[in-house]
Structure 1
Amino acid sequence: MGSDHAFIKSTLKRTTAYQCTSSSTAFSDAQSRAKLVENDAYGHATSKEEYDGLCQTAIDAAENTSSAGSTISDPIQSHQHQDQENWSSGEKIGPYQYCLHHFDGLHSTIYKSKREDRSLVAVKVTIPHLLTAPHDVYLEARFLREAASTHVVPLLDTLKVDGGRFILVFPFLRYDFEHLLRRDMLTATQVKSHLGDMFSALEHLHELGIVHRDIKPSNILMDSPEGPAYLADFGIAWKEGYNLSEPFDQKITDVGTTCYRPPEILFGYRGYGTTLDLWAAGCVVAEAVGVGHKQLFDPGPVGSDLSLIRSIFTTLGTPDEETWPETKTLPDWSKVEFYKYPAKRWEDILRGAPSSGRDLVSKLVHYESSERMSAHEALRHPYFSTL
């Protein structure tokens, strides 16, 4: 078999893929095993296609036999301790005496605080009268109380303080899924566990009729890489009869975050439901199982709808009324004529990912929203069979 540049480049990608699927404690160990696998495949394969198949088999085998007990620790966070914080410099927010600034969001500010029992809490400060729909902090608190469960972030307290501020208090969770993926701090088993926790939360929410509307890796929180994981940020969630300004068929389409937004709302469909969360969840799975943990779709430098649509179409192929019957109900579908891009194979879209992970993504990232796999069905997908 020839050793051209394309083949060498493919080999390097496979090494990275094997490292991502292996749950070895040290990536250097995974890399050594990957090299052995690739050398063996190279010696036996008579074509690049056969080589790809042998490597994919090894990747799937590594994913299926991953050890649940292995961990990767954060070299920075693992040595931090709450006693090292300068609590005396914190400000007082209501009854919370020592509040240290932690994070500025678009619609809130998060503080880290230590209670008398030395437990850490996150104090989320909002100013309700400055929020615009669909953001509603009072509904957020209501949803969190109603949806309280194993994998929904616990709401510990709510209170009003001076200046019209409304406070929500949660356990302080050090990590989010996006941070851990970007720093390659998770084993394949941990990734699978956190995704399972996400779908467990969604299954519970959807049974209650709640649509989260902002599923993304940074809204999946945990206190350690081992988990458990919790779904957070219900600031734009929806349930029929709760969001009075949004009847079922008149919901706001400016929801979700950039590349996790499904195509139906990009074309103005306002009657969406829980399947909106499932498209986003599929994008999260793709990001988690893919080599390099890249976002599945690219909304461009300014996050425009047209750039995101183009990215979706160049990846999944430009749909028509035959391949996406739902287009008949989309208000903005016929306003723009798009170039007819061919669909890519999932094997090429998520090259190097475990086969079961790719299949799960393909069942969720689907144009026709009614055909997307439910959270209940996702939890029973073969991808989670080895969890």
Structure 2
Amino acid sequence: MAPVSDWRSSLRAVDRYANIEKLKRAIEAKGLSSTGTAHKAAFAAETDAYNTSESREAYDAACNAITSQEPPTDDSSFLQDPDGPGITIGRFQNCHHIASGLVSEVYKSEAVALKVITETHNVEPHNPGREVKILQQLSHASIIKLSETCRDQDGRLVMVFPFMPLTLAKIISSGPVSPDLTRRCFHDLFSALAYLHGEGIIHRDVKPSNLLLASPNGPAYLSDFGTAWHPTLSTNEPAHHKILEVGTTCYRAPETLFGNRSYGSGIDMWAAGVMLAECVQTPPKAPFESRDTSEDGNQLGLILSIFKTIGTPTKETWPEAVNFSTPPFEWYQEFPGHSWDELLPNADEEAKDLIKKLVRYESGSRLTAIQALEHPYLAAKG
């Protein structure tokens, strides 16, 4: 198989940083994002160019196009196919790289997406074999369907899915998310989570890039079950001793940050609430800040951001944490936090109420997915 990612290995970090800074200045100059969120928007735009470009020239052109042109006035740019002939993966022709993960790379070939497992050994909690078994058991309208599995010419596992041209992350990176689309996306997300949690499954990586969209208007599909926990298939993770290194950046639930290995489906509900808070901001912005999971200090930074945003927890506001291996109390500094009215001053009142009932420390008091679907914010979805 042709080494399509060779150009990425030769791209220096300093070059990527320079492009991010250039994009940040252009975004601020055009008023596409506030000063505080321009860096995040620039980072997302550069990452998208890095993941979707077939060559260094295409990557440079994509970054330059963003800085030199006005933003598109319609959604057609989201749906364009990559240029070039692509590569062959097994029996699939004309495959174009669209994303990379810790243990996999994703390609588009006509109407399908191919998830190619690049690691020969499991990197827990990533377990492709378990992912396949879980996906084969699932059947829900709002969960991406595994069409088949096969091996490529190098013997690597390939999972085949219907191709979806958008993610909620890409929608967020382009600017404000419409109220109608937000409601549709979260109705689909909570429908998927209600089904999963009813089966005893915890997704463990709910985030905007894992919510796929068939079009700029939806419907939405929950994807990427590579780190999902299953009550019988996760044989190396008993229910009371689960892996803590799950979730991504600012969407990680606080119980996993303080050593609660008995966490449950509430971690998915926290992540969904953080996503909703991000979507109802104008421009979109997650309420918490965190470095990438691989960076030093990422966990402490996220903890501080959560505490500063919604307040340092107490034994009264987070009683379950008394029994955690690393209780969060008697912190060196207490932060009063802010109300959701302060944090989301222009958001829909019903949306704020739903967020308030999801993004709370005590996991047992968070709404379940079924309860979220019944909340007035989503119950009125047309």
**TM-score range, shorter-chain basis?**
0.7 to 0.9
1:19 maps to what in 2?
A: none
**Offset at 1:338?**
3.3
Is residue 2:379 matched to residue 1:378? no
SS of 2:136's partner is helix
2:209 maps to what in 1?
A: 218
SS of 1:103's partner is strand
Is residue 2:198 matched to residue 1:207? yes
Please say if residues 252 and 270 of structure 1, whose CA atoms lie closer than 8 Å, have aligned partners that are also in contact: yes
Q: Which residue among 317, 321, 326 is the counterpart of 2:320?
A: 326
Please say if residues 175 and 224 of structure 1, whose CA atoms lie closer than 8 Å, have aligned partners that are also in contact: yes
Q: Which residue among 355, 360, 368 is the counterpart of 2:354?
A: 360
Is residue 2:234 matched to residue 1:243? yes
1:191 maps to what in 2?
A: 182
Q: Deviations over 1:145-182 (max 9, x none)?
A: 21221000111110123434100011111100011022
CA distance in 2, matches of 1:323, 1:284: 22
CA distance in 1, matches of 2:291, 2:230: 31
CA distance in 1, matches of 2:149, 2:176: 33
Larger fraction in helix: 1
SS of 1:364's partner is coil
Please say if residues 159 and 167 of structure 1, whose CA atoms lie closer than 8 Å, have aligned partners that are also in contact: yes
SS of 1:135's partner is coil
Q: Which amino acid aligns with 2:213?
A: M
Q: Which amino acid aligns with 1:215?
A: V
SS of 2:232's partner is coil
2:302 maps to what in 1?
A: 308
SS of 2:139's partner is coil
SS of 2:120's partner is helix
Is residue 2:112 matched to residue 1:111? no
**Offset at 1:335?**
8.7
Q: Which amino acid aligns with 1:285?
A: L
Point out the structure with max Rg over C-alpha: 1
SS of 2:304's partner is helix
Q: Which amino acid aligns with 2:95?
A: C
Q: Which amino acid aligns with 1:309?
A: I
Q: Which has the higher contact order (CA 8 A, sep 6+)?
A: 1
Structure 1 runs not aligned, ≥5 long: 1-15, 17-71, 115-119
Q: 1:336 to 1:235 in 2, by over 3 A?
A: farther
Q: Deviations over 1:256-308 (max 9, x none)?
A: 00100111110111001111101001101101112211011112474611111
SS of 1:100's partner is strand
Q: Which residue among 321, 336, 344 is the counterpart of 1:350?
A: 344
Q: Which amino acid aligns with 2:326?
A: D
Q: Deviations over 1:20-64 (max 9, x none)?
A: xxxxxxxxxxxxxxxxxxxxxxxxxxxxxxxxxxxxxxxxxxxxx
CA distance in 2, matches of 1:357, 1:246: 35
Q: 1:93 to 1:75 in 2, by over 3 A?
A: closer
RMSD: 1.9
1:52 maps to what in 2?
A: none
SS of 1:265's partner is helix
1:68 maps to what in 2?
A: none
1:258 maps to what in 2?
A: 249
SS of 1:149's partner is coil
Segments ≥4 residues shifted beyond 6 Å: none
CA distance in 2, matches of 1:164, 1:113: 19
Does 206-215 or 283-292 show the bigger shift? 283-292
SS of 1:194's partner is helix
CA distance in 2, matches of 1:279, 1:104: 25
Q: Which amino acid aligns with 2:174?
A: R
Q: Which residue among 327, 331, 334 is the counterpart of 1:337?
A: 331
CA distance in 2, matches of 1:269, 1:203: 23
Does 367-376 or 126-135 show the bigger shift? 126-135
Is residue 2:283 matched to residue 1:292? yes
1:92 maps to what in 2?
A: 88
Q: Which amino acid aligns with 2:263?
A: Y
CA distance in 2, matches of 1:236, 1:136: 7
Is residue 2:75 matched to residue 1:74? yes
Q: Which residue among 268, 282, 304 is the counterpart of 1:277?
A: 268
**Offset at 1:332?**
1.0
Please say if residues 318 and 341 of structure 1, whose CA atoms lie closer than 8 Å, have aligned partners that are also in contact: yes
Q: Which amino acid aligns with 2:102?
A: L
SS of 2:336's partner is coil
**Offset at 1:141?**
1.2
The percentage of counterpart residues that share the same residue type is: 40
Is residue 2:225 matched to residue 1:234? yes
Q: Which amino acid aligns with 1:167?
A: V
**Offset at 1:195?**
1.0
